[in-house]
Structure formats: structure tokens, C-alpha cells
Amino acid sequence: MKTNEEKSRVCVYYEGRVQGVGFRFSVCSIVRDYNLNGYVENLPDGRVAVIVEGMTSQILDFLEKVENCHLKNYIFNSKREWNEFSNQFKSFSVRY
């Protein structure tokens, strides 16, 4: 687990009925409240990937809101992969 004061990067893979239900739109709406950068995209295998960078405390709060939003019953499983902060992104976007 990362400390809340440092910057980090996480890739979260959401499984379930997460495509075709407004999941990416919901993620984009939630991330507006945070100073986080990265992207969300549908994957060919039916999962949705959310890659986000920023302060670890903000990432954790953001992920909690995503996982408890109105679409929470569509998420059957999620996997988090923490990595070093890379400053690769300048904004948050939807990838197609």
C-alpha cells in the first residue's frame, strides 16, 4: 500500500457488466472532482481499464467513489496494479 502523501500511478481493471452501461462516462464525471490524470477505456475482453496518476490520497478517494457509484452492482471484480508515478498524462480522457 502506498502512503497518501506521495504521487503514484494505478491501473484498475474492472470486470462485470461494465461496458455499455455508461461506466466510462461515470468515471469521467467522478474524476472531475480530483487533480488526477490518465484515461479510461473499454478492453476487447469486456473489462474496463482505468489508469490514473496523482496524489495517492486522491487516487484512493477517487477509486472508492467509482466503486461505490450508481453502477457498483455492475462491477463483479476489480484488480489494482500500483506503479511508480510517471507524469505521462496531462489530463484525463476516454480512449476508444
Domain 7-95 fold is: Alpha-Beta Plaits (3.30.70)
pTM of structure: 0.92
Q: How many Å apart are CA 36 and CA 17, to the nearest integer?
A: 25
Find the mean pLDDT for residues 27-46. Answer: 98
Find the mean pLDDT for residues 56-84. Answer: 96
In the structure, what pLDDT confidence band is assigned to residue 49 with cuts at 50, 70 and 90?
Answer: very high
Give the tens place of pLDDT for each residue, 6-31: 999 999 999 999 999 999 999 999 99
**How far is C-alpha 66 from the geometric centre of its chain's CA atoms?**
7
In the chain, DSSP assigns E strands to 7-16, 37-42, 48-55, 75-84, 92-95
Find the mean pLDDT for residues 29-54. Answer: 98
Query: Would you name the residues annotated as active-site residues?
Result: 24, 42
Per-domain boundaries in the chain: 7-95
Q: Are 10 and 26 in contact (CB under 8 A)?
A: no
Q: How many Å apart are CA 56 and CA 87, to the nearest integer?
A: 13
